[in-house]
Amino acid sequence: MKLKDKVALITGSSKGIGAGIAKEYAREGAKVVVNYSSSKDYADRVVNEITRNGGTAIAVQANISKIADIKRLFQEVKSAFGKLDILVNNASVWRYEMLEEVSEETFQLQVTTGLMAHIFCAQQAAAMFGEEGGSIINLSSTVSLNPIPGTLIYTAVKSGVDSLAKTLAKELGPRKIRVNTIAPGMTESEGSTADGRPGSAMEKLFLDRTPLGRIGLPLDIAKVAVFLASDDASWVTGERITVAGGLL
Ligand SMILES: NC(=O)c1ccc[n+]([C@@H]2O[C@H](COP(=O)([O-])OP(=O)(O)OC[C@H]3O[C@@H](n4cnc5c(N)ncnc54)[C@H](OP(=O)(O)O)[C@@H]3O)[C@@H](O)[C@H]2O)c1
């Protein structure tokens, strides 16, 4: 068990990639905090699956686009488990929109959830990690280096995610806090199903550019998230790992 007795918070882990990471962390021995914003049923389902398999998990509601909610989330982690070792900044929302469709509302939504929350969650985590340090993992996307039309704000957010991990790795390294980024390619999730991707022209475009010839699964991403959180990655910080079947 690579994460035995570690405490991990994964934002937005009621669904998709976050849920996959939560389950895999629990399988590797971590006590897991499953954060969600509104999908309590989904969060409870993830927690029940973990506990049924002998793991430890709790669900905590917090809308991470609000700083007050972020502070409460971390207080609840402390009350439940007394410490934190791993933060996965996973929650994010995206909107497909061309430049003329971008609005203040869609800008705020994507920037607060996808970038601002990463910063304020990292702030709380760094304050809570013990003397042995900790690991912060941020979810970016292949689009941050290889954008597609209609993802202007999302791409800018993910480029910001790439850069903040590099800065934080330097700032927090002396405190033994490692900060790394995972950039998934197209991955099956509730969010990507809800936006109509399965069978779409966009899915075909990504499949054609993916040498390993399939769409990613949450478990593909979770395995790398386990590595980055574990002692196997104790000399790895400030890195961005693409997990996308060869898609660049
Ligand atoms: N799927 C892909 O193809 C893909 C590709 C590259 C990168 N990524 C990145 O991977 C991460 C996960 O994506 P996904 O596809 O697994 O997403 P998803 O299926 O849409 O799930 C999103 C999760 O985030 C939570 N969430 C959304 N807004 C929140 C908020 N304000 N506060 C707290 N939780 C919130 C959702 O919970 P509620 O339902 O309760 O709101 C849900 O658990 C994201 O950062 C995404 O950008 C995904």
**Distance between CA atoms of residues 109 and 74, nearest Å:** 22
Determine, yes or no, domain membership for 2: no
Give the pLDDT of residue 97.
95
Which CATH number fits the domain that encloses residue 146? 3.40.50.720
Q: Which sequence positions are flagged as catalytic?
A: 154
141 lines ligand 1 (CB under 6 A): yes
pLDDT of residue 58: 98
Let me know if residue 248 belongs to a domain.
no
> pLDDT digit string (tens) for 89-125?
999 999 999 999 999 999 999 999 999 999 999 999 9
Residue 187 lies in a domain: yes
Distances (CA, A) of 43 to 38, 88, 102, 218: 9, 16, 31, 16
Residue 196 tokens, joined = 């109509």
**Which residue's alpha carbon is at the smallest distance from atom 20 of ligand 1?**
191
What total of structural domains would you count in the chain? 1
At 195, the pLDDT band (50, 70, 90 cuts) reads confident
pLDDT, mean over the chain = 97
Q: Are 153 and 107 in contact (CB under 8 A)?
A: yes
Residue 28 maps to a domain: yes
Structure confidence by residue, pLDDT tens digits, 47-84: 999 999 999 999 999 999 999 999 999 999 999 999 99
Round to whole Å and give the CA distance between 76 and 90. 18
pLDDT at 193: 93
**Residue 37, ligand 1, Cβ within 6 A:** yes
| Long-range CB contacts (within 8 A, 24+) of 103-112 | 106/153, 107/153, 109/65, 110/153, 110/154, 110/157, 111/153, 111/157, 112/65
- Taking the C-alpha atoms of residue 175 and residue 131, their distance in angstroms, rounded to an integer, is 7
120 CB within 6 A, ligand 1: no
User: Which pLDDT belongs to residue 248?
Assistant: 82
Say if 205 falls within a structural domain: yes
* C-alpha to C-alpha distances, 28 to 54, 78, 248, nearest whole angstrom: 11, 21, 29
Domain span including residue 47: 7-243
The verdict on residue 1 lying in a domain is no
Nearest CA to ligand 1 atom 23: 12
What the block records as the tokens of 28 is 């590797």
Q: CA-to-CA distance for 64 and 71, rounded, in angstroms?
A: 9
Looking at the domain assignment, is residue 106 inside a domain?
Answer: yes
Which tokens hold the place of 27?
């399988």
